[in-house]
Structure 1
Amino acid sequence: MAKLYFRYGAMNSGKSTALLQAAYNYEERGQHVLLAKPAIDTKEADHISSRLGVTRSVDFLIPPVADLRALFAHHRGELVRRENEALVPEADGRRTDVACLLIDEAQFLTPEQVDDLLRIVVLDGVPVLAYGIRTDFRTQAFPGSRRLLELAHSLEELKTICRCGRKAIFNARLVGGRFVFSGDQVAIDELSTERVTYESMCAECYLRESGGRIDGR
C-alpha cells in the first residue's frame, strides 16, 4: 500500500540530499518519479540543491493556492504521454506510471495541499515522500509541517548537530549576522533587503542567544 512519508529535520540536516538520493534510487531501477516544491521557495528558483553540490530541476512548482492533487494528475498524465510516445518502450513491458512523488520544502505547503498529498497516496495509489523543517525561527510549527505530522503514515527525523555538538532541533534566524526572534514566518534570502541566514541550534544554545525567549516573546 502506498504511504505518505514526512522526513523532517532542522536546517542543514541533509533533507534535499536525501530527497535527491531517493529519486536516484527509484530511477536507477527504471522507475519514474516526479519532483516538486512550493513556488514560495524562490532561493533556488525551480531547482533543488543539496549542500554536497548536487542540483536537479523540479518537474513542477506548487503555487500557494494550487489544487495539488489536480496539479499532480496533470504532470503524471504528461509523463505517461511522453513515455508512451517514446521510441523505446519499457524494457520489461511494465505500464509506464509515476512510482513516487517527492516534495522538497514541504513546510511551505498549505494544510489543504497536505490533505491533497494524502488523497494522492490513498486514492491514486502513489507514494509521497515529503521533506521539510518542522518549526520556524520562533519555534512555531509551519502549517504544512503541522498537518504532515497529523496525517503522515510514517515520520522520520533527519538529524544534524548544533555548534556545541548537541543535537540541533531549532532554526535560528540571523539578519545581517545578528539573531532575531520576531518577524514574519517566511523570509527567503532573495526577498530580503538584508541578508537572511539560518543556523541550526540545540535548545540550550537557542535559549542562550534569545535570552530565554521562546516563540518571539
Structure 2
Amino acid sequence: MPASGDRRRHPAPAHLRFFHGPMDCGKSTLALQVDHNQRRQGRHGLLVTQGDRSSAPQISSRVGLSRDAVEVDAATDLRLLVRNRWADGHRVDYLIADEAQFLTAVQVDQLADLVDDWHVDVYAFGLTTDFRAHLFPGTQRLLEVADDVQRVQVEVLCWCGLPGLLNARVVDGVMVRSGETVVVADTAAVDPADTEGGSSPAVRYQVLCRRHYVRGELGPTTAGPGQLSLS
C-alpha cells in the first residue's frame, strides 16, 4: 500500500474494443464517429487501415466521410508505429484500426500490448467472415482477446428482406466460393464497360442472408435468379 502522502496516480485503464459485422453495416462510419468524439475531448489518435475501398491511405465510408490514415500491411509492427510517433513528439492516446479483419494474429496481440502495457485505447473495426463464410484470422484473434466485442447494429438487408449476415463474392455476375482470401472490391454493381476488352474480371460483393448464401441466389434479375459457381 502506498503511503497516505503518496500522490502518484496510475494511468487510467485502456481497452481493446472490437466492432464487427458484414459489409455495408457502417463500420467505417462508426470508426470515423469514434475518432471525432475522441478528438472533441482533446485526445490525440492514430488511424490505420489496409485495403480501404478508396485504394487510398484513408478510412472512407459509403456515406461520403473520410479521413487520412496510415496504410499498414502484414509486416507492420503496430507497437513500433506508435512508439515512433511518441519519439517524434506526437501524442497517441488512442488507435483506430479499420479493416481489422486483415490484421495478422500477431498484430492483434500487438494491439493488446499497446492497451495493457502502454495504456493506449484501441478501437478495431472489421468484417466478421470472408466470402467463404469463414472467420478472417484477424477477426478470430480479436474475438478471442478483445475486452469488448460488439456487432455493429446498423441492419443490412439481403435482397429478400431478411437480415444480411454473409458476404458473397460475385465475379462476372456469378457467386464464387473459392479463390484468394483477400480481393478488395466494393458492394456497388460493376459497370461491364469498365472491364470490357480487359483481362480483369468484374468483382463485387453482395451481402446475403444465410439461406440465400447457402443456395447461391443473388436475387431476381431480368435473366432469372443469380447463379452459383463452385470454381
Give TM class, smaller chain. 0.7 to 0.9
Equivalent position amino acid for 1:208 in 2: R
The TM-score, its normalising length taken from structure 2, stands at: 0.78
Match of 1:88 in 2: none
Match of 2:208 in 1: 201
| 1:113 matched to 2:107 | yes
| 1:179 matched to 2:191 | no
Match of 2:152 in 1: 158
Equivalent position amino acid for 2:160 in 1: C
The answer to which structure has the higher helix fraction is 1
Equivalent position amino acid for 1:64 in 2: A
Shift of 1:175: 1.0
Shift of 1:42: 6.8
**Aligned-partner Cα distance in 2 for 1:99–1:68:** 14
CA contact (8 A) 2:52 2:60 kept: no
The TM-score, its normalising length taken from structure 1, stands at: 0.83
CA contact (8 A) 2:45 2:94 kept: yes
Match of 1:168 in 2: 164
1:110-149 CA-partner distances (Å, limit 9, x unpaired): 1000000000000000110000001100011111111001
Equivalent position amino acid for 1:68 in 2: L
Note closer, same or farther for the CA distance 1:76–1:105 as it changes in structure 2 (3 Å cut): farther
Out of 126, 131, 137, the position equivalent to 1:132 is 126
* Higher RCO structure, 1 or 2 (CA under 8 Å, sep 6+): 1
Partner of 2:118: helix, strand, or coil? coil
Shift of 1:76: 3.8
**Aligned-partner Cα distance in 2 for 1:28–1:6:** 21
5+ long unaligned stretches in structure 1? 83-96, 211-215
**Aligned-partner Cα distance in 2 for 1:57–1:196:** 26
CA contact (8 A) 1:136 1:185 kept: yes
CA contact (8 A) 2:85 2:92 kept: no
Runs in 1 of length 4+ with deviation above 3 angstroms? 40-43
Percent of aligned positions that are identical: 39
Match of 2:66 in 1: 55
Larger Rg: 2
1:145-191 CA-partner distances (Å, limit 9, x unpaired): 1100100010000142222222221100011222111111111249x
Partner of 2:55: helix, strand, or coil? coil
Note closer, same or farther for the CA distance 1:193–1:76 as it changes in structure 2 (3 Å cut): farther
**Aligned-partner Cα distance in 2 for 1:128–1:53:** 24
CA contact (8 A) 2:163 2:209 kept: yes
5+ long unaligned stretches in structure 2? 1-12, 187-198, 218-229
